Structure 1
Amino acid sequence: MKNWKTKFTIFFLSLIVSVVTVEFGLRYLIKQTNLPRIYHDVAEYNLSDRESAGKSDYYRDRSMEIYGGKEPLEILCIGDSFTNGGNTFWDNSYPYKLYLKFNKKVTVRNLGVCASTTEQIATRLEDFYKSNQYSSEKKYVIAVMAGSADVFAGSELVQKISALNISKEQKWVEMNQKTDSFFSQFYFYKVVTLLAQDLKNRIDKVDSVTEQVTFSNQELSACHSAKTSKERVDCLIKTLKMESYNKLSQGSKEYLIIRFLLEKKAFKSSEVTEVIRDFMGLVEYQPQLLERDYLVMNLLGLVKLQDIVSFEELKAVIEKNSHRIALEAQKVNQELISNASYWYDNLEKLNGERDIYWKKIFTLAREHNSSIVVMNYPLPYQSTNGYLQTLAKKEGSEFIDVEKIFTLHQKGADVLLDDWEHCSPEGYDLIAQTLYDKIELMSQERKGK
């Protein structure tokens, strides 16, 4: 018995010594090298409170990466999912690729949060400048790509949807809050958490391979070659009714349909129109698609962003099939439609709201001696891309026409896009290269003066 206690004590002490050694080792490495570090939110939010969670966009990604370099230049990449690296792993995001293009010599922060509005982005930038992360001794370049989610600004609809999602994991959130408050100060905990999350993401991707292989078979792939939306929808429904697919669960069928929609890689508005028309046809067959709030929100947003397909037409399809879905989803969709309808009728007011938050972004940059590079979106978000180009010209800031660069690039949509709303790793790399070239040119021009 005594021998067992001695062994346990030795083991326990050895474990503590090992953890402490790793902790100090990590602190030294992160300080001396260019290893990725973790940026914790400046603002504190009570995530156990649903109303508070609804007002915050930080809970979506409670730690954001810093890729640290030793030179005094720091690049703040701030925006929505296009900045965050939506639909891919963190090391494929354009901020990380930008960090690599600078040979890890400059610091790059990924301050992108999916579905952020311009208001939220302006607030996040303000939070950064108020934090101890900001140093007046450094030079800052702010790369901003913002506005695609603004059609849902004003009513906090994006946050409300996410608040509904977060309430489903209420107990986990409350527990996580308590543990984070103590453990998050340790680099060992941060690194283990980051690695665990990355491993989970990769496992999830592997788990979905079977369905993706099923999806990519000859029958379903053939549906993409149909010339009209009706023919594509009829083909897909007919295929899903086949014996091999009919055995699939409801969730798996929804997954296949969504993957079918996302497979459309489109630069042109006419091609995105096909996606929306396909969705409207498929809802008649699979109304549960309307319970995917982000899918509905994105499609409503696409109608506004690209000035395609009648909003009333899409609204009619959603409302016609609403009685076939859960009551909670009906309420969410009604809010989505109501908010989108308001902005469709008040485009000038929407741009006026944008002006306020962009003015805040430019004011913050000037007050902190930071340069701004405005970028539009790689997809044909006509109203937003046009607004961003006009804004940059009016403010006299640097501008990158990402949409034009993507459209003219020889690789085309099949290589540069992962789906109709996210870039592929190659697409993010193209954004990083374009931004790198712009920042290098800005640096040379400053030296010339």
Structure 2
Amino acid sequence: MSKLENNIFAKISLSIISLIITLFIVEIGLKTVGHFYNMKFQAEYIPSKEGTDYIRDEMYESYSFKESSKDVILSIGDSFTNAGNVESKYSYPHQLFNIFIDNKRPTTVLNMGLCEDSTFGVNKRLKDYLSKSTNTDKKPTKVLILIGAADNFERFQKEAITEVKPWYSVSSHSWYKSLSIYKVIRHIKYHYIQKELTSNISEASLVNTNELQVILSEYKKLKDNIHNSTKISLNEIVSNLPIGFTKYCNNLHISFNTKYELLHSLNVYMSKILASQFKHDEALKWLLDLASFKPLKFWGGEFDDAYFRIVQTFQFQSEYSASEILKSLDSMLANSPKIKEFTHFNEFYTLVKENEEVMKQTNINRQQAWKEMISLSKEYNFELYMLNYPSNYVSANNMIRKVSEENNIPLIDLNLYFNELIGQSKRDVYLEDDDHLTPLGYKLMAQEIYRAINK
């Protein structure tokens, strides 16, 4: 019996030793192949899946190597930096971090993006961060700023963020993740993720027209049901909607649990599709339609996402004159006098009626904020890079370019870069809407930024 046990033990030991030797040989072989073929996927990092309860606007993100980093890049701005429409692994700061890993350059990347923030909000947040941060590991050597598109959103009640947000930290690989075997397995997984990602984008480009028809039909139907007080099944309506609707609303935390929430979310998603097709005039028409149908909810703050869209879409559209829009607003006011008490209504009314004066004052305020941020770069000794928008926010992009030229601050021209890409393909391959990129768009944005800051 003892002899049999010894034989079994010997066989098991031999098998284990053989396996270890085989893995060692495979590891050496893969490292050799990787060295000669310079496999880029060797150092790519893919984080674990983000939970549905993880809300990006409630914290900042830090991506760092386990070893000390020479450079610390602070990315600060609005939704293009925050990337709340996708998981954090697709945001441009995270993908920029991946590029530094690929090139074996230990670099910490910080994401201080905040959806719907303004130039004035970024100025305040940057000041607070630099003056109050005691962590030398997060002292920036470079600061990337993309901001300005939402400077006219809620300008009557704009309050700079003052609360301290917690940091969500992601470090580079654990020891086993440096093994070539692990990297090959991860690369295969990453390949299929990317394949699925790009195929979904292509499909989205093809079905946008059909999506619009479905969304518009359900929007009109729901509106009629609400107007006539007809009994409706929300589950039935949602089940008829494209999967893109649910995904988009969930990512941006736009609720559709009640009939009014669903009406609002349908309108927002419809404006997203129209914007991706450069049909901002039509998007404005339907946003005004929602405001006219339920003015108390729209201007009273219950339809905040739609209100943000109407302010932003107004900047893009060219079909409707100020007098035409004011006529529509005056009609709402006549039917619902209470909206005169709402800040949102007065803010938008003033933006339309006195647009030239509003933009003049906004630009004065923008220049002052940029002047202060440039001073911060000198006081805290970091390189400042200005980024402009991939989408055509003319006023914001013009101001960014003007400040860059007048102060000799490097400009990363994302507007030119993406317009050239869009000219060769379709807009919705790269931009999900006017304020968010697709995962592919964020990846290309990170690549362009890396190229620009390493000239």
- TM above 0.5, yes or no, is yes
Q: Distance in 1 between matches of 2:407 and 2:319?
A: 29
Cα separation, partners in 2 of 1:149 and 1:312, compared to 1, 3 Å: farther
Cα separation, partners in 2 of 1:185 and 1:346, compared to 1, 3 Å: closer
- Of 405, 410, 430 in structure 1, the residue corresponding to residue 444 of structure 2 is 430
User: Residue 397 of structure 2 corresponds to which residue in structure 1?
Assistant: 385
- Of 387, 402, 406 in structure 2, the residue corresponding to residue 394 of structure 1 is 406
Q: Distance in 2 between matches of 1:369 and 1:282?
A: 49
State the shift of 1:308 in Å: 6.4
SS of alignment partner, residue 141 of structure 2: strand
User: Residue 146 of structure 2 corresponds to which residue in structure 1?
Assistant: 145
State the shift of 1:73 in Å: 0.6
User: Residue 440 of structure 1 corresponds to which residue in structure 2?
Assistant: 454
TM-score (norm 2): 0.61
Cα separation, partners in 2 of 1:308 and 1:111, compared to 1, 3 Å: farther
User: Residue 321 of structure 2 corresponds to which residue in structure 1?
Assistant: 310
What does 1:12-411 correspond to in 2, within 5 Å? 61-69=57-65, 70-103=68-101, 105-133=106-134, 135=136, 140-152=141-153, 155=156, 157-159=157-159, 222=210, 224=212, 237=220, 246-248=232-234, 249-266=259-276, 268=278, 271-284=279-292, 288-290=297-299, 291-304=302-315, 309-321=320-332, 331-337=342-348, 340=351, 341=353, 344-409=356-421, 410-411=424-425
Cα separation, partners in 2 of 1:306 and 1:360, compared to 1, 3 Å: farther
* Structure 2 gap ranges (5+): 1-44, 48-54, 170-203, 235-258
Cα separation, partners in 2 of 1:314 and 1:438, compared to 1, 3 Å: same
User: Residue 52 of structure 1 corresponds to which residue in structure 2?
Assistant: none
Cα separation, partners in 2 of 1:259 and 1:68, compared to 1, 3 Å: same
Q: One-letter code of the match for 1:295?
A: A
Q: One-letter code of the match for 1:247?
A: S
Single out whichever of 118-127 and 257-266 deviates more from structure 2: 257-266
Q: Deviations over 1:340-359 (max 9, x none)?
A: 35564242222111111100
State the shift of 1:382 in Å: 1.0
State the shift of 1:253 in Å: 3.3
TM-score (norm 1): 0.62
Single out whichever of 342-351 and 139-148 deviates more from structure 2: 342-351
Q: One-letter code of the match for 2:149?
A: S
Over alpha carbons, which structure has the higher Rg? Answer: 2
State the shift of 1:420 in Å: 3.4
**8 A Cα contact 2:74 2:142, kept in partner:** yes
State the shift of 1:116 in Å: 1.4
SS of alignment partner, residue 108 of structure 1: strand
Q: Distance in 2 between matches of 1:267 and 1:235?
A: 20
Cα separation, partners in 2 of 1:116 and 1:99, compared to 1, 3 Å: same
Q: Distance in 2 between matches of 1:301 and 1:185?
A: 30
State the shift of 1:250 in Å: 3.7
State the shift of 1:324 in Å: 7.1
State the shift of 1:403 in Å: 1.6
Cα separation, partners in 2 of 1:325 and 1:346, compared to 1, 3 Å: closer
Q: One-letter code of the match for 1:67?
A: Y
State the shift of 1:272 in Å: 2.0
Q: Distance in 2 between matches of 1:219 and 1:357?
A: 42
Cα separation, partners in 2 of 1:272 and 1:35, compared to 1, 3 Å: closer
Cα separation, partners in 2 of 1:237 and 1:185, compared to 1, 3 Å: closer
Single out whichever of 94-103 and 335-344 deviates more from structure 2: 335-344
SS of alignment partner, residue 151 of structure 1: coil
**8 A Cα contact 2:268 2:309, kept in partner:** no
**8 A Cα contact 2:333 2:339, kept in partner:** no
Q: One-letter code of the match for 1:403?
A: N
User: Residue 417 of structure 1 corresponds to which residue in structure 2?
Assistant: 431
Q: One-letter code of the match for 2:427?
A: A
Equivalenced residue count is 331
